[in-house]
Structure 1
Amino acid sequence: MHNSRFDAVQARDFIAAKWDQEIVPTLVDYIRIPNKSPMFDIDWGANGHMQRAVALFEGWARAQPIAGMQLEVVQLAGRTPLICIEIPAFGGGSGDDCVLLYGHLDKQPEMTGWDEGKGPWTPVMEGDRLYGRGGADDGYAIFGALTAIMALQAQGTPHARCVVLIEACEESGSYDLPAYVDHLSARIGKTSLVVCLDSGCGNYEQLWCTTSLRGMAGGNLTVEVLSEGVHSGDASGIVPSSFRILRELLARIEDAGSGKILIDAMHVEIPADRHAQAKRMAEALGDEVFSKFPFLPGMTPMGTDRTELVLNRTWRPALSITGADGLPPLASAGNVLRPSTSLKLSLRLPPTLDGKRGGELLQDALLKDPPYGARISLHLEKASTGWNAPTMAPWLENAIEQSSQDFFGKPAMYMGEGGTIPFMGMLGEKYPEAQFMITGVLGPHSNAHGPNEFLHIPMGKAVTGCVARVVAEHAQRGVAGG
């Protein structure tokens, strides 16, 4: 007999056992695999690391006792692989529409600065934290999604048809994903709820749901001035430095004193409800808004108004320089005026600004009227649109609140995120009627993309439970907007 009720205590016990006995050991194996996203491992196909990670996840998933589950590793020609798992409706849940659960398994590159004994491919357990690249971003997602469904089936609680998609290209901008969503569109079908497990949390004490994501325009900016390097004493004062020209170009788009982006069209009006959420988030977190970052002693954030700092991070454009070429290491840097300098630009865009438009604005600003006639090129690698969540249906708002009370004993919180999940904007367009639950385990100091990235195990367990509760409530109220 199937049970329409959801027993949170029973689910918590089931999920904890699954995490402790199977999920954490499998994530330990996964962290050891250097399956960097294609942007960071151009020979990923030949190197085989991505395939190893896919095989590890596939093997675990196939061993799970999920009724009617069908798993396929889909690989379109010339693209990264994708794991597609289809799970039929259970216990009288709807088979007409679907819950789409999303995650990714590709990783960011190594990054320097890991603590002694830790490393990107060296799994280390310390207390509740599993250190290593990819555990929290986003290796845990497939385990969280399937374990939430198993927790429902174990207690006979209905759920609708579910499709789990785990991609291998997210950290490179998800450029392969649209082709897969089109390829699988008939199998995905009508989607009324999207659950994404690749976002962040403001603390580890309650459920955090993401209401917006920034977009991104990024790529490699190169300034060339000479065909070869020349003696700096001979040339300086006559030949303009490629580095100085780069500074001049960057000053077109960013105020060096404040960090404000100077291109007016890159700014958007911030919706009133998002402003209010930012204020509540700032009040809830206090100084943790900025103290979660590893500031050096004496360093201060870019302002004192915590709400404004939250909005800076979530609704305003911002530039980071994440790499450079043409600069020799200090130990081998002779007195040479170098022929060229290249920088990797990472420009975060407001959630409602079209990513393609953001890329065009960036190109227009940097490539017009080159100083001194220097050869300037901008190779855009990413131009991704952000995402602003649709109005939340009452059933989903209630389910999220109840799930946070069930598994944390505290109310749910809502926040914008500063990062980019290109999949969200794409899904928002493809499934305009769908509701969205965007959440994750990347909380204070978890440091995704940086050194000492860790997965907070209790947070992973609790988020899994919250997903189970929301999927159960979806089956009860099961229509988008209802």
Structure 2
Amino acid sequence: MTTISSPSSAEQDASVLEAVATGIPAALSDLGALVRIPGIAWPAFDQTQLERSADAVADLARGTGVFDEVRVLRAAIPGTDEMGQPAVLATRKARNGRPTILLYAHHDVQPHGDEALWETPPFEPTVRDGRLYGRGAADDKAGIMSHIASLRAVSEVLGDDFDLGVSLFIEGEEEYGSRSFAQFLSDNADALRADAIVVADSGNWDQSTPGLTVSLRGNARFTLKIRTLEHASHSGMFGGAVPDAMMAAVTLLATLWDADGAVAVEGLGARDAETPAYGEDTLRDETGLLPGVSPIGRDEILSRIWNKPSVTVTGIDATSVEAASNTLLPEVSVVISSRVAPGQRAADAYAALEAHLRAHAPFGAELTFSDVDLGDGFLVDTTGWAVELTRGAMADGYGVAPIDLGVGGSIPFIADLVREFPGAQILVTGVEDPHSRAHSPNESLHLETFRNAVRAEALLLARMNRAAQS
């Protein structure tokens, strides 16, 4: 990549920002229409809604007038005879030596859960107090619309001078594990190959300050069955002599953490990196931590979230409270989700967890491991030209310099992108803020953050269009 030069760069950027401002109402209207489609990739939900969602995104891509080709595609799920969920792939070839950028987001959403916990219906977009509420309003249909709105603005201003190559990849199963993602990349490698990749599926420092995500934890998720009896027995007749599965499960799971709540599993690594100032009051505000409940772990709070492992029990199969009886349970199953420090292989972290649990199994309890799902973390090389361009576009789009963020969550498919396209620079951005409540009831998008995110991405596209490829 060489110089970026144009005698009218400042004027062009100003025109792009004006086009963004004009286009925001239409972008929000289109976002609301997407939110109304309950596209959930879990098989228990109506899969025709995912098809509706993919078709709607494809129509939006065609409507930009930018792309040479727009297709709705599926890829096989490796190791099965199933096909993955519908994704949208739109492509535009670079012209006159310009680079190519790949824009990623996903159109599937998390299940909405208990509707009683929502203040307004989850699939009815509702604006209040400067935020748009609805499932997928932030994660990640706003990511889709940040791409679409940016492309509309840049195309309007540049017209025939739009020489930047653009690929748009909107996945349909990110919330369900991206099971066909690697195969999709392999099947469509030529169409997806790019100099820079924008993954619009992360967050920002706060509502006003943009963030460029430079590290992500990996994940190791699995189901653990704990079994102590061949069959259920009367708890009064045999309790006190026979260890039931629930007792074994509680005893075993407690060994995963020490008295401070820090992970106590030998072999789970940590990353040594500085973090910005972030106090307990901010943590309480952003998470809803109850008064009197203390944070867990040690060292700087953000280091615990960004650079150290965590272990969470996210699900349990046992007798419900409503159906409880005086019975010794023969088996209990739990789902364990571990976030892995950036730099450690997820497979190594899983091996450490399995070894720990087997070594600490109480009373000789029988353990069975299944449904193992692994994803490696990610560390960005921040020295590239695209990173520099992105930081500048964010600063001008938001009016505030961006902060390099670590993220405690995981985007495992980024490892697939790095493997398939090793020469591409990965730029992890997003439209969420700490109060977006992605995956939770009352998910929302801060409207001013969305506007600024579109401004930043449109500036990035315009400036990349002025860059000559070396």
Identify whether the pair has TM-score above 0.5, normalized to the shorter chain: yes
Q: Which residue of 2 aligns with 1:217?
A: 220
AA at the equivalent of 2:285:
S
Q: Which residue of 2 aligns with 1:160?
A: 164
Correspondent of 2:304 among 282, 287, 312: 312
AA at the equivalent of 2:431:
V
Correspondent of 2:32 among 17, 28, 33: 28
Q: Which deviates the most, 468-477 or 234-243?
A: 468-477
Q: Which residue of 1 aligns with 2:181?
A: 177
**3-state DSSP of counterpart to 2:466:** helix
Q: Which residue of 1 aligns with 2:350?
A: 359
Q: Which residue of 2 aligns with 1:99?
A: 101
Tell me if the contact between 2:345 and 2:377 (Cα under 8 Å) persists in the aligned partners.
yes
AA at the equivalent of 1:49:
Q
Q: Which residue of 2 aligns with 1:293?
A: 287
Alignment size in residue pairs: 456
Distance apart, 1:403 and its partner CA: 1.9
Q: Distance in 2 between matches of 1:343 and 1:15?
A: 48
Correspondent of 2:317 among 304, 315, 325: 325
Q: Distance in 2 between matches of 1:3 and 1:142?
A: 32
1:87 equivalent in alignment to 2:92: yes
Could you list the per-position Cα deviations for residues 438-465 of structure 1 after superposition, in whole angstroms to 9, with x for gaps in the alignment?
Answer: 1112212211111211011221121122
Q: Distance in 2 between matches of 1:357 and 1:172?
A: 23
AA at the equivalent of 1:131:
Y
Q: Distance in 1 between matches of 2:176 and 2:190?
A: 26
Distance apart, 1:118 and its partner CA: 2.0
Aligned Cα root-mean-square deviation (Å): 2.5
Q: Distance in 2 between matches of 1:235 and 1:32?
A: 54
Could you list the per-position Cα deviations for residues 50-95 of structure 1 after superposition, in whole angstroms to 9, with x for gaps in the alignment?
Answer: 11211221222222222x43111111342122111102336x452x
Change (3 A) 1:449 1:427: same
Structure 2 alignment gaps of length 5 or more: 1-5, 77-82
Change (3 A) 1:477 1:123: same
Q: Which residue of 2 aligns with 1:231?
A: 234
Could you list the per-position Cα deviations for residues 290-311 of structure 1 after superposition, in whole angstroms to 9, with x for gaps in the alignment?
Answer: 4211122233323686xx1101
Q: Which residue of 2 aligns with 1:450?
A: 440
Q: Distance in 1 between matches of 2:449 and 2:405?
A: 17
Change (3 A) 1:193 1:420: same
Could you list the per-position Cα deviations for residues 362-418 of structure 1 after superposition, in whole angstroms to 9, with x for gaps in the alignment?
Answer: 22322457444433212234210010001322x434423432332222111111001
Q: Distance in 1 between matches of 2:282 and 2:370?
A: 37
Distance apart, 1:112 and its partner CA: 4.0
Tell me if the contact between 1:8 and 1:407 (Cα under 8 Å) persists in the aligned partners.
no
Q: Distance in 2 between matches of 1:398 and 1:421?
A: 22
AA at the equivalent of 1:111:
G
Change (3 A) 1:304 1:260: closer
Q: Distance in 2 between matches of 1:188 and 1:253?
A: 41
Change (3 A) 1:150 1:16: same
User: How does the TM-score come out when normalised to structure 1?
Assistant: 0.87
1:202 equivalent in alignment to 2:205: yes
Change (3 A) 1:3 1:233: farther
Q: Which deviates the most, 137-146 or 209-218?
A: 137-146
Distance apart, 1:467 and its partner CA: 1.4
Q: Which residue of 1 aligns with 2:425?
A: 435
1:147 equivalent in alignment to 2:149: yes
Q: Which residue of 2 aligns with 1:125?
A: 127
Q: Distance in 1 between matches of 2:112 and 2:35?
A: 12
Q: Distance in 2 between matches of 1:358 and 1:343?
A: 18
**3-state DSSP of counterpart to 1:237:** coil
**3-state DSSP of counterpart to 1:137:** coil
Tell me if the contact between 1:399 and 1:469 (Cα under 8 Å) persists in the aligned partners.
no
Q: Distance in 1 between matches of 2:448 and 2:144?
A: 17
Change (3 A) 1:243 1:472: same
Q: Which deviates the most, 434-443 or 245-254?
A: 245-254
Distance apart, 1:125 and its partner CA: 1.4
Could you list the per-position Cα deviations for residues 146-179 of structure 1 after superposition, in whole angstroms to 9, with x for gaps in the alignment?
Answer: 3222222211164521111111121222221000
Tell me if the contact between 2:19 and 2:157 (Cα under 8 Å) persists in the aligned partners.
no
AA at the equivalent of 2:408:
G
1:350 equivalent in alignment to 2:341: yes
AA at the equivalent of 2:232:
G
Q: Which residue of 1 aligns with 2:393?
A: 403
Tell me if the contact between 2:118 and 2:442 (Cα under 8 Å) persists in the aligned partners.
no
Structure 1 alignment gaps of length 5 or more: none
AA at the equivalent of 1:193:
A
Tell me if the contact between 2:143 and 2:431 (Cα under 8 Å) persists in the aligned partners.
no
Q: Distance in 2 between matches of 1:147 and 1:178?
A: 28
Tell me if the contact between 2:398 and 2:456 (Cα under 8 Å) persists in the aligned partners.
no
Distance apart, 1:252 and its partner CA: 4.1
AA at the equivalent of 1:65:
G
Tell me if the contact between 1:222 and 1:341 (Cα under 8 Å) persists in the aligned partners.
yes
Could you list the per-position Cα deviations for residues 82-138 of structure 1 after superposition, in whole angstroms to 9, with x for gaps in the alignment?
Answer: 111102336x452xx521111111212223486553243332211321111112111
Identity %: 26
Change (3 A) 1:355 1:5: same
Tell me if the contact between 1:225 and 1:242 (Cα under 8 Å) persists in the aligned partners.
yes
Correspondent of 2:252 among 236, 245, 249: 249
Tell me if the contact between 2:206 and 2:434 (Cα under 8 Å) persists in the aligned partners.
yes
Q: Distance in 1 between matches of 2:463 and 2:112?
A: 40
Q: Which residue of 2 aligns with 1:19?
A: 24
Q: Which residue of 1 aligns with 2:381?
A: 390
Could you list the per-position Cα deviations for residues 190-215 of structure 1 after superposition, in whole angstroms to 9, with x for gaps in the alignment?
Answer: x2211110001111112211010010
Change (3 A) 1:478 1:109: farther
Q: Distance in 2 between matches of 1:3 and 1:171?
A: 45
User: How does the TM-score come out when normalised to structure 2?
Assistant: 0.89
Q: Distance in 1 between matches of 2:197 and 2:150?
A: 14
Tell me if the contact between 2:185 and 2:420 (Cα under 8 Å) persists in the aligned partners.
no
